Amino acid sequence: MNKPKMATEKGVPSNSRVLMLLGQLERMNGETMVREVENARQLTLKILHLIQTQEKSGKEIMSKGSSGMEVILASLENTKDVQTTLNILYILSELVTVGRGRRVGVFVSKGGTGVLFQILITANKESHPSEELMLQLHSLLAKVGPKDRKFGVKARLSGALNVTINLMKQNLQNFKLLLPCLQVLRVYSANSVNAISLGKSGVVELMFKIIAPYSKKNTSLHKVALDALGALLKSKTNARRAVDGGHVPVLLALYLDWHRNDARHRHLLIRKGLLVCLRNITNIKLGRKVFIEADGMRILYNSSTECLPVRTLDPLVNTSSLIMRKCFPKNRLPLPTIKSAFHYQLPHVPAVGPVAQLYSQPPGVDDVVDESDDNEEAEGDTDTENDEDDKDHTANDDIETDLNKLHPIKSPGRPFEELRSYERFFLELYEDFQGHNFECPKAASTKSSSASFSSSSIRSTQPVIVPTAQALSPMNVPIEDSEREHTGPSTTPTDALTSLKLDTIHLTKDQEKKVGFIPEGHTALSSGLSSQGQAIEQELARVLECVSLEQEGTLNAEEGLKGVRQEGSPITAARHIHSPLLLGGIATLRVGGQGSNCGSDCGSEGADDEGGEGAVLEVPDTAALLPLHDPDLYVEMVKGTHSVPQYAEVAYPDYFGHIAPTFREPLLERVYGVQRSKIFQDIERLIHPNDILDKVVYDLDIPSGPVIEENGESLKFNSQFESGNLRKAVQIRKYEYDLVLNSDINSNHYHQWLYFEVSSMRVGTTYRFNIINCEKSNSQFNYGMQVLMYSVQEAISGRPQWVRTGTDICYYKNHFARSSIAAGGQKGKSYFTLTFSTSFNHKDDVCYFAYHYPYTYSTLKMHLSKLEALRTPQIYLRQDILCETLGGNSCPLLTITAMPESNSNDHICQFRNRPMIFLSARVHPGETNASWVMKGTLEFLMGMSPLAASLREAYIFKIVPMLNPDGVINGNHRCSLSGEDLNRQWQNPNPELHPTIYHTKGLLQYLAHIQRAPLVFCDYHGHSRKKNVFMYGCSVKETVWQSNINATSSDLQEDLGYRTLPKILSQIAPAFSMASCSFVVERSKESTARVVVWREIGVQRSYTMESTLCGCDQGKYKGLQIGTRELEEMGAQFCVALLRLKRLTGLHNHQHLLDLESDIIGTQSKVVSSCPTTYVMEEDEPSFLEAIDYSAESNDEDVEPENEQGVEVQENLDQLSDSDNHRDLC
């Protein structure tokens, strides 16, 4: 022990006097202290006085290297005198009270806690222990206990627990001594073993003797007692004791008493303490049952409602809400089965996996809810707000650590003789153009013998119904009497709601209004470019600086749109559709129909009485504004589209088309407390059940469909059209509806994509819609994202566009039970609710809601047909049918490049040897933004700008624009008809179950065999839980960096070429974020396109490009929701990035590009250094810390939360949530 330097008292500076006294005290230790009791008292008293009067004295004792604390603790152990002991305890109390916990840490490290417990046990052996000594010991223990991690264990092993308990029992009325005992008990109880031991000793019952009704006296005692009781009740054993002892009604009565009497809200901590006790008791099933029986729901609901106007009472409201939600009885989803409402029998069922389990499920099994879904100890002691927290801590567990799998190895795959069949898709590699007339424009059209997208080759399987408007003023619909079909009595004027039978439609178009296609203006990108004669270098530099779809072409389109609006008549350029109408009989053509309503309530009164000759529906001619859209052609394409439900209708938005709004759509600012108010409305369903209508207004599971009265009291719904998804609608209150989404076909989950129609609304009334069977634990709807709405009235008035809509939007865990069958074997899980409110501006309107901008398979076919019309003699465009899908739909394959300048050997050789770029999109049907990005890419490639021409001359593009047509057509979110995620089948695709993946991989394998592997492979995707546009790639080095793999330098040999394209995009594309990119290879992604193409085909630049479904938080579009204009712009700028890659390397032979890309990255590093590449999981959105939010992650230590002002952040730790097993990355 380093002894303090001694000196005579005379002449010693005052700041060293305490060291001198400590030196004297040290010399007294042992028998001397027992003999010289009075000297010991005097010395300790002097030290105490110095510490109390001179701050420096305390610092000297606690300074680094000082032995003062050892001397004091040694004296405490050796003294037998009560007064000396008290003096030393006073000294220690003074020392540890200041210092921000550091001094307590020193005290603990020197063994101080053990000494205190030793003194406590010794003092307790006295027949009459000193009350002051017990008080000081417990006060000091209460201060040091929270800083000693082993405090609870030391207390239990030393026997201190029983000492404190007995002391409390003997001094229930001695509040001065009881308070420090309770403070120590609170620390004891933090140890779960101690809590159980204390419960067995009767401490729970003892605590209920201490807590009392409202009183202005001893409030500190009540606060500490409730804290200690709350800690005890975290033990489920103690919670059962409290329930068995009948204490739940007591706690509710006490809370109500304090709530009523604490008018000035001075005792929030006591009221909060009572709620915490109730919260912990209701962690067990028995506690929830007794809580409900004691009318706890009503008590907390009423008290919370009274607290809502006072912001400072939010902690009480939040905890009350948490308890009520936990005790809310788990409800069954209003479905007969969680399987899809549509059935498609697979040609053969996989041997293992979810689909195999689905087919092997015995008949009669209830897969909607478990027999006992309210699990015994649901969401108990150690549950965090979200199981995603654990994923955050172990995120790197998914990183691939097998070096053999991290090195790209070209797999032989299928035998070349088998792959040779794909040679027909690569005619450009073998064609010599000897018979081609390069001077004749018509001869430049290269056609594929297998292409069949023209309307003449479309197979029509059944009539297709276009819902139409009857009296959208000033239009009238004359009807041929001979062509009416009646299913009942003659309809009233309000029944004039009709659909068109498209196989008998006569489509006419005013030829004077027909707009021709001007190639130079088909894309906004090309419209703002300089003349053809300008140098490519200047052109590229210009575009790189200002590439944007908000240029001249778009502005001209917007001006044209405004021109339509400003006309005296709502419609000036219109199409006229003459057709017979099927009045009343359309419901039989729709599964889950609406009686006589065909789902498109654009009608108004008297329409069917005003015209007797023929029906005329005037619709806006959007061809002037949308060169790639033609309603007539779209209808023809629908006839050749095969759906499982055999859809017979066309949705208005797909028929009219969509023009991007001219206004910006910012991320929605979240209103404070919006989620809480919505949850309270949900709780009211249990509190006031008589107010709930519970009326089914739409149901796909009932073929005849519920009959909806024509009284305007209920909305009418429909989703029976291509890409539609809504399974059931239940009217809860007059203006509130619960909506249930349909599962993917041959699946029992993936509820996210929504697309449905609403009609019979009241103008100006606010409706609330709740999507009640969402599965993901968080959503961008909590961070500013809105749903999309399309108004037919607006479209007919010249504004055919999807717009972001909805207020009071939030996403949270609800009370609908999710069965273990649907949750992968996990019990006690719940669904999540997406809720939003909206109002309607037009009478007799038909509106559509969608998760994101719809882009159907028929839309793709229409766009491809239109693109072919844009072809010039200089463009080589070929459309092939890669294969047929399970549902009998064609999967298109496009080849785009530039025609050779002539049929000379040099030109043909250059033509054949262009590097390949392979692009694909829409493997996940719900990621519609991928199709809009692809549309931007295709339009750019077919453009007439010098950039587009240069790009075609540089590369051969192979494009599969829609990898999952069946999923898109049938309204799936993630799967194909096989019930499987196609982007997890690339390792071993089945030709029958996964034909599009099988044959797309075959194309790539063929290219690898002939030594023509693509320079770039990119699969376009959408991301539902991140902002911006970004890329995932594959890198050995970056994967090793993020793991604990022991790798040699040779293992890490890797060219950095994979970074070049994302870096270029981060410089030229305002929506692209390099900081969100990741190049880590994960085990869970080993069967995705990106990883398989990288490993097996040997494509270093193999990417997934993810586009947000929400918006951007950086760059030019920061704070804005993303729209089709920005998505198409992204597709075009991807092309520009490819051209810049070509320009920077300056080489035509792509085999040599690798050698220069390291230099490229080095020259650009200063530009992009602010955007470091990070390893990003799919859940990187900061936690939304509204205290009752069940959906956000609670691991928010390293991020800045997007929380509401005034919310207690620590409340987030008290919440419950389910983990989300479905990951969003591709």
Catalytic site positions: 1106
Three-class SS of residue 917? strand
Long-range contacts made by residues 479-484, C-beta under 8 angstroms, separation at least 24? 479/580, 479/581, 479/583, 479/608, 479/611, 479/612, 479/614, 479/615, 480/580, 480/613, 480/614, 480/615, 481/612, 483/580, 483/581, 484/580, 484/581, 484/582, 484/583
- Residue 360: CB atoms within 10 A of its CB come to 8
d(CA 15, CA 55): 9
Phi/psi-derived region of residue 111, left when phi > 0, alpha when psi is between -120 and 50, beta in every other case = left
User: What is the phi/psi pair of residue 106, to 5°?
Assistant: -65, -45
Three-class SS of residue 1141? helix
Nearest to 937 by CA among 657, 1127, 1209: 1127
User: What is the phi/psi pair of residue 413, to 5°?
Assistant: 60, -135
Residue the block writes with tokens 């140098």: 535
Token code pair at residue 475: 């239009």
Q: How many helices (H) and strands (E) does the chain have?
A: 44, 23
Please state, in angstroms and as integers, the Cα–Cα distance from residue 929 to each residue in 855, 975, 1108, following that order. Answer: 8, 16, 8
Nearest to 388 by CA among 1223, 973, 1211, 1214: 1223
Q: Are strands 615-620 and 574-579 parallel, antiparallel or unpaired?
A: antiparallel
d(CA 725, CA 970): 8
Three-class SS of residue 312? helix
* 294, 303 Cβ separation under 8 angstroms: no
d(CA 1188, CA 1209): 11
Token code pair at residue 1059: 């970074």
DSSP 584-641: S-GGGGSTT-BTTB-S-----TTHHHH-SS-EEEEEE-GGGT-TT--HHHHHHHHHT-
Return the DSSP state at 981.
B
- Residue 505: CB atoms within 10 A of its CB come to 17
d(CA 1126, CA 1104): 18
Residues 6+ apart with CB under 8 A from 303: 255, 256, 259, 316, 320
Q: What's the length of the chain? A: 1226
Please state, in angstroms and as integers, the Cα–Cα distance from residue 609 to each residue in 494, 579, 615, 738, following that order. Answer: 11, 16, 11, 37
Token code pair at residue 298: 């009503």
Three-class SS of residue 657? coil
3-state helix, strand, coil in the chain (%, to 5): 45, 15, 45
User: What is the phi/psi pair of residue 358, to 5°?
Assistant: -65, -45
- Residue 722: CB atoms within 10 A of its CB come to 25
* 353, 824 Cβ separation under 8 angstroms: no
Three-class SS of residue 578? strand
* 851, 1022 Cβ separation under 8 angstroms: no
Please state, in angstroms and as integers, the Cα–Cα distance from residue 1078 to each residue in 932, 1062, 1146, following that order. Answer: 23, 10, 27
Q: Are strands 1016-1023 and 1101-1108 parallel, antiparallel or unpaired?
A: parallel
Please state, in angstroms and as integers, the Cα–Cα distance from residue 1043 to each residue in 256, 394, 404, 700, following that order. Answer: 54, 11, 15, 49
- Residue 483: CB atoms within 10 A of its CB come to 15
Using CB atoms within 10 A of its CB, is residue 1124 exposed (0-12), middle (13-18) or buried (19+)?
buried
